[in-house]
Amino acid sequence: MKKIIYLLIFFAFGIHTVIAQQLPQYTQYVFNNYLLNPAVTGIENYTDAKLGYRNQWSGLNGAPVTSFLTVNAPIGDNFINGDATAFPGGGEINPSSRLYTQNYQASEPHHGIGFMVVTDKAGSITQTNVAATYAYHLGLAPKLNLAVGVSAGFNRTNLNTADVTLADPFDPAIANGNNSQWHPDLGLGAWLYSGDYYFGVSVQQLLTQNLYFSTSTQAVNASKTVPHYFFTAGTKLYVSDDITLLPSFLIKEIQPVPLTYDVNLKMSFQDKFWIGGSYRHGDSFGALAGFNLSSFINVGYSYDITTSALNNVSYGSHEIVIGILLNNRYKVTCPQHGF
């Protein structure tokens, strides 16, 4: 019985990162901060839809495979139709440029709504998160906005017992158990942003839930979800009128393990394409690239080189994100309020 308990704990938690992160991790969260912070909901004056796929630690049997769909949009005519920073599209003013920042004004107060579906499969365990989000954006100063947001939904955890081989077919760890469970989920966030910097803080998985499959009355140690806390910040540094550096970082706190962090550097070439690199403490180095193909679609790709002990069995991690800009009345080709 102990062997199956250890196996379940490994696949449910340990395989996500070497620091026991229970939720999926992403390299391109800088391309879609909405995944980590509901306050980003409706930050742009178009409907922002993104599809993502991540194959983590490719070559390792049972390693996590994550896919997601996120959609969020603003509500408020003053913002959608008359956003002060929504310059004419078509490449006339690059949102990453020095000129854009000099003329930046805080956006009109407005609401944002959205939803996301995230599926993460690791070994025989599949987790699916479905959540709706809401945010309110308020101007604090002529060039500064604060947004606060909430996400609420459900988390489904499913154990495919056909993939599990037991020495004892009636092992109480899973026998006669609830192998498909739904639990409520809640997250909160805040986002402070201007034309050339942002700060964000959020928490996911606020509602602690049991994560064990047995309904047996025997003593089986129960695993539980824990809150995940995120703090992130980024800024713009101008190399020239066409080239902008965008450094950022993400700090994660997941009890009872120590703090961990990501450091990123993105180099933007006008509003056409970008390249970048990332470092995840104790886990990997990443190379990133993205192209703003038109005012309708953009795409980003990243490859992580594993630096942990898993590099002996892993070929690295691949991640691709496709962005769709719907109702894009200003025909912008890259985000104006997010970067």
| Beta pairing partners, 300 | 290, 321
Tokens of 182: 């739904």
Distances (CA, A) of 42 to 33, 73, 102, 139, 299: 12, 4, 23, 14, 20
Domain extent at residue 322: 18-326
Q: How many domains does the chain have?
A: 1
* Residue 50 Cα distances to 21, 59, 84, angstroms: 23, 26, 25
Q: Which tokens in the block code for residue 265?
A: 């550097």
- The CA distance from 14 to 210, in Å, is 17
The CATH number given to whatever domain includes residue 56 is 2.40.160.40
CA distances (Å), 192 to each of 46, 110, 112, 128, 339, in order?
20, 15, 15, 29, 13
Reported as a single tens digit per residue, the pLDDT across 124-139 is: 788 899 999 999 999 9
Is residue 4 assigned to a domain?
no
Please check whether residue 180 lies inside any domain of the structure.
yes
**pLDDT for residue 283:** 78
3-state secondary structure of 161: helix
In a domain? residue 201: yes
**Amino acid (one-letter) located at 227:** P
pTM for the model stands at 0.85
Summarised one tens digit per residue, pLDDT across range 90-119 is 446 777 778 788 888 888 899 999 999 999
> How many other C-beta atoms are found inside a 10 Å radius of the C-beta of residue 186?
16
145 forms beta bridges with 139, 193
pLDDT digit string (tens) for 47-61? 999 999 998 877 667
Give the pLDDT band of residue 11 (cuts 50, 70, 90). Answer: very low
Q: How confident is the model at residue 7 (pLDDT cuts 50, 70, 90)?
A: very low
Exposed, middle or buried by CB within 10 Å (0-12, 13-18, 19+), for 290?
Answer: buried
Q: 138 is written with which tokens? A: 């308020």
Determine, yes or no, domain membership for 13: no
Write the pLDDT tens digit of every residue in 187-226.
Answer: 999 999 998 999 999 999 998 877 665 555 454 555 778 8
222: burial class by Cβ within 10 Å (0-12, 13-18, 19+)?
exposed
Strand partners, 201: 190, 231
